[in-house]
Structure 1
Amino acid sequence: MGVDKRKAIYKQWRIPEKRLWFIAMVGGAVGTWLGMMVFHHKSRRIHFVIGFTVLAIIDISIMLFLFN
């Protein structure tokens, strides 16, 4: 999120949204959610806010289930 935000500010090539979703879906949802909150990137797009939040909750639930 930080890299994509910086690229957006400087009008450079951006990371495709599909890649951000892929990263979130393969276990990086907590990181993408935190990045979205820290860098205020994609935070106005409701489907990102809801989607990354739900995926982060699922990731945390799976981790708690596996490690308990």
Structure 2
Amino acid sequence: MLKSDELKLKIIELLSSHQILTIGKIKKLTKTPHHYTISNALEFLEKVEIIEIKEKKDKLGSKIVKLKDN
């Protein structure tokens, strides 16, 4: 299991390569849109500990990364 900081680096890499991120539970934490730009995702990542990343494809074939906060 990767540490939270390592997971955050992976998320930043995915954002940098313009892959879609869907983040679970964050609406409750941040009251912001479900899909993130690099700037607001980085702001969000400073506030939480990420414990898991799940990867799957959505109906359009875009990669979705689901995150869980603690």
Provide the TM-score with structure 1 as the length reference. Answer: 0.28
Larger relative CO (CA 8 A, sep 6+): 1 or 2?
2
Provide the TM-score with structure 2 as the length reference. Answer: 0.27
Decide which structure has greater strand share.
2
